[in-house]
């Protein structure tokens, strides 16, 4: 029987004294005796009460201990508690599992022996450092149960006793093996995504290139036809000159030669030659430029940012698209004589082609389509505004036009990538692309670029 089972107040001692009082003569000594016994009873009752309290506290303590143990057991993070001397006082199951050593083997050992060489040098400073600060996310590695390093992100803080004296430190480490693997996977996926995006840009570029071919062909037709014309003229001139030279060498007399010279119009030929050759060269140069633009446009490589004159790029972009359009809009171009920007010429070309193409598409069925282009400098930026006389963009779509695959065109007509890619190309070179509707109607896109 436990002491606490005894009911205080019903002590056998007092009962007996009560009973004896009936048979003996009550006197003064006896009263004192009774008092003593009463006191003893009180003390005994107190004792029993204390005992009960103690037992209750003890079981609460045991409960708390079990709770703490269960929490420590369930922790996936590693816990190491050390004394001021750096010797391990307590560890949890996570550490036992990682190191393959039991708590009994570990307690009393210097904590640094748990770590592999490189980390050991680092953790050697922990006891000193925690005096002034708590350490967060230190990358350290334990020696794993298989002898291989087990990487952890470790926090370390000082531990004080109830009087505020430093008595040791607490190390908590999160295994980061999983995290590292997840990070590696993420990295690989990100790379794949980037690759896919590059391909997408290229595919979209090729698609727009296809649409542009008609315009470019028209562009090429012009210089090529006057190169041809000039060459035919030069050929004719050549045979006249040969004829005249032959006469010169055969020793014909002066008057005959003069007549021949007039008939063959040698003087006019000599006067024309220079401009014919210049014109031919110009035509050839124009062809070379168009081919260069085309190559830049279709190129999948990333050019380093360069300084270039924006106006010719704007002109060719518009020409290419407009020439290829079924219904050619009236183009109103408004730009300064010279606007130098820094960026990627090919990208700017591609963006403008996309914007102009969209404008042309949206005005396809208008009786008098008009396209307005305005380029101007604003602070350290150069702005290119592309505006059309179409219906504009509904409010609810304004936020979505830059989303990939957002298109209101019929299936097969648009991929919905044009603006998404253009936006990326603009921001890639430190610029920006914005959309809105003009108060006088029509959509207004403004491309901002870095001024040179
Ligand atoms: N000038 C404009 N006026 C009205 N709506 C426009 C204009 N430009 C773009 N949009 C709207 O934005 C959508 C997305 O344009 P985006 O250039 O990204 O793709 P798309 O032209 O539909 O297809 P893709 O360019 O890939 O062939 C268009 O389908 C259209 O609804
Ligand atoms: Mg488009």
Banded pLDDT at 119 (limits 50, 70, 90): very high
355 in contact with ligand 1, CB cutoff 6 A:
no
Q: Around 443, how many Cα atoms within 13 Å sit in the side-chain half-sphere?
A: 21
Å from CA of 258 to ligand 1 middle: 69
Q: Please give the pLDDT value at position 364.
A: 92
Residue 261, pLDDT above cutoff 50: yes
Beta-carbon count within 10 A of 426 CB: 20
Å from CA of 407 to ligand 1 middle: 6
Helix/strand/coil (H/E/C) assignment for every residue in 229-264: HHHHHHHHHHHHHHHHHHHHHCCCCHHHHHHHHHHC
| Segment 315-363, tens digit of pLDDT | 988 988 888 788 899 999 999 889 999 999 888 988 999 999 999 999 9
Computed over every residue of the chain, the mean pLDDT equals 87
Q: Which residue has the CA at smallest separation from atom 9 of ligand 1?
A: 358
Residue 385 CA: which ligand is closest? Answer: 1
What is the number of residues in the chain? 452
Q: Which atom in ligand 1 lies closest to the alpha carbon of residue 407? A: 29
419 in contact with ligand 1, CB cutoff 6 A:
yes
Beta-carbon count within 10 A of 383 CB: 19
Are the beta carbons of 161 and 84 closer than 8 angstroms? no
353 in contact with ligand 1, CB cutoff 6 A:
no
Q: 75-79: which pairs have CB atoms within 8 A and are 24 or more residues apart?
A: 76/174, 76/175, 77/172, 77/173, 77/174, 77/175, 78/142, 78/152, 78/171, 78/172, 78/173, 78/174, 78/175, 79/170, 79/171, 79/172
Residue indicated by tokens 């003893």: 40
Q: Please give the pLDDT value at position 297.
A: 66
406 in contact with ligand 1, CB cutoff 6 A:
yes
Banded pLDDT at 38 (limits 50, 70, 90): very high
Å from CA of 142 to ligand 1 middle: 57
**H helix or E strand, kind and range, residue 418:** helix 418-428
Residue 24, pLDDT above cutoff 70: no
Residue 207 CA: which ligand is closest? Answer: 1
Please state, in angstroms and rounded to a whole number, the distance separating the CA atoms of residues 227 and 290.
Answer: 15
Q: Which residue has the CA at smallest separation from atom 1 of ligand 1?
A: 359
The mean pLDDT of 244-273, rounded to a whole number, is 89
Please state, in angstroms and rounded to a whole number, the distance separating the CA atoms of residues 306 and 345.
Answer: 8
Q: Which atom in ligand 1 lies closest to the alpha carbon of residue 386? A: 1
Q: Which atom in ligand 1 lies closest to the alpha carbon of residue 417? A: 26
Q: Which residue has the CA at smallest separation from atom 29 of ligand 1?
A: 407
Å from CA of 315 to ligand 2 middle: 19
Please state, in angstroms and rounded to a whole number, the distance separating the CA atoms of residues 308 and 341.
Answer: 6
């Amino acid at each position: 029987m436990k002491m606490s089972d005894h009911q205080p107040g019903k002590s056998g001692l007092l009962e007996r004294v009560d009973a004896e009082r009936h048979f003996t003569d009550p006197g003064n000594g006896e009263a004192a005796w009774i008092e003593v016994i009463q006191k003893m009873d009180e003390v005994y009752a107190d004792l029993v009460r204390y005992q009960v309290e103690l037992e209750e506290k003890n079981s609460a303590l045991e409960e708390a201990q079990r709770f703490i143990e269960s929490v420590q057991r369930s922790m996936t993070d590693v816990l190491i508690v050390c004394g001021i001397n750096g010797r391990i006082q307590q560890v949890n199951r996570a550490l036992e599992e990682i190191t393959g050593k039991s708590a009994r083997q570990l307690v009393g050992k210097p904590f640094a022996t748990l770590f592999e060489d490189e980390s050991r040098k680092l953790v050697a400073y922990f006891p000193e450092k925690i005096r002034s600060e708590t350490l967060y996310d230190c990358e350290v590695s334990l020696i794993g149960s298989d002898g291989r390093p087990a990487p952890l992100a470790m926090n370390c803080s000082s531990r004080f006793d109830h009087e505020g004296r430093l008595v040791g430190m607490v190390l908590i480490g999160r295994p980061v093996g999983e995290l590292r693997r997840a990070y590696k996977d993420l990295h690989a996926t990100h790379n794949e995504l980037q690759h896919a995006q590059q391909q997408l840009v290229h595919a979209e570029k090729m698609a727009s290139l296809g649409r542009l071919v008609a315009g470019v062909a028209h562009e090429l037709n012009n210089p090529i036809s006057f190169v041809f014309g000039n060459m035919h003229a030069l050929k004719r001139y050549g045979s006249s000159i040969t004829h005249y030279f032959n006469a010169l060498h055969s020793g014909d007399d002066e008057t005959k030669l003069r007549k021949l010279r007039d008939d063959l119009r040698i003087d006019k030929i000599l006067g024309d030659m220079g401009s014919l050759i210049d014109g031919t060269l110009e035509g050839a140069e124009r062809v070379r430029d168009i081919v260069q633009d085309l190559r830049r446009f279709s190129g999948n490589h990333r050019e380093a940012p360069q300084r270039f004159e924006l106006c010719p790029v704007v002109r060719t972009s518009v020409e290419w698209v407009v020439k290829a359009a079924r219904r050619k809009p009236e183009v109103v171009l408004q730009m300064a004589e010279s606007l130098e920007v820094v960026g990627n010429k090919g990208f700017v070309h591609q963006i403008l082609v996309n914007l102009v193409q969209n404008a042309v598409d949206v005005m396809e069925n208008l009786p008098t389509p008009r396209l307005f282009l305005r380029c101007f400098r604003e602070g350290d930026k150069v702005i290119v505004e592309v505006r059309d006389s179409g219906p504009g963009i509904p409010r609810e779509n304004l936020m979505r036009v830059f989303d990939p695959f957002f298109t209101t065109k019929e299936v097969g007509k648009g991929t919905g990538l044009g603006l998404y890619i253009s936006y990326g190309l603009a921001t890639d070179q430190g610029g920006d692309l914005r959309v809105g509707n003009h108060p006088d109607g029509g959509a207004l896109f403004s491309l901002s670029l870095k001024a040179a």
